[in-house]
Amino acid sequence: MTRGYKLLTFQVATLAASAFLMTTIASITKAAPPAAAAVTIDNFTFKAPVLTVKPGTTVTWTNGDDIPHTVVSKTGVFKSKVLDTGDHFSYTFAKPGQFGYYCSLHPHMTGTIIVKA
């Protein structure tokens, strides 16, 4: 009897512990920030010019140049306002695909975001 009770206690404790663990894991997953990636603009260049990210990733471009730039999708998917020095622009890529973009002021500046699961 005593032994069986002890066993039961152990089982209950294990269950409670794993339940606690699962809740913790769930809450960690929930609290984790959504995927993010960064592209800096320096010396009239997008760095990196080709960036591969997972669906749901928010990409942020930041202009490090003394001259304004823009980030404009070649297919009209996204378009930033003019970014002066230090300004940034973000876009969240929900679906897989390949997204070419350029600077509408300096169109020789081009880049691509590849979204792949």
Partner 1 sequence: MRDDELDDSRRGFLKCMAWAGTGALFAFDGGIGSSIGLDAALAAPHRTAAAPFTFAQLSDSHIGFNKPPNADARATFAEAIAKVKALPQKPDFIIHTGDVSQLSRDDEFDDADQMLKGLGLPVFFVPGEHDMLDPDNGKAFLDRFGKGSKGAGWYSFDHRGVHFIAMVNVADLKPGGMGNFGPEQLKWLAADLAGRSSSTPIVVFAHMPLWTVYADWGWGTDDAGEALKLLARFGSVTVLNGHIHQITQKVEGRVAFHTARSTAFPQPAPGTAPSPGPLKVPTEQLRSMLGITDALFVRGHDRIALIDSTLA
Note the residues at the interface with partner 1 (CB under 8 A). Answer: 43-45, 65-68, 70, 74, 81-82, 84-85, 100-102, 104-108, 110
For residue 97, which of 56, 38, 62 has the smallest C-alpha distance? 56
**Least separation, in Å, of the C-beta of 84 and partner 1?**
6
As measured in angstroms, the least distance from the Cβ of 63 to partner 1 is: 12
Q: Are 96 and 117 in contact (CB under 8 A)?
A: yes
Cis previous bond, 48, omega within 30: yes
What minimum distance in Å lies between the beta carbon of 101 and partner 1? 8
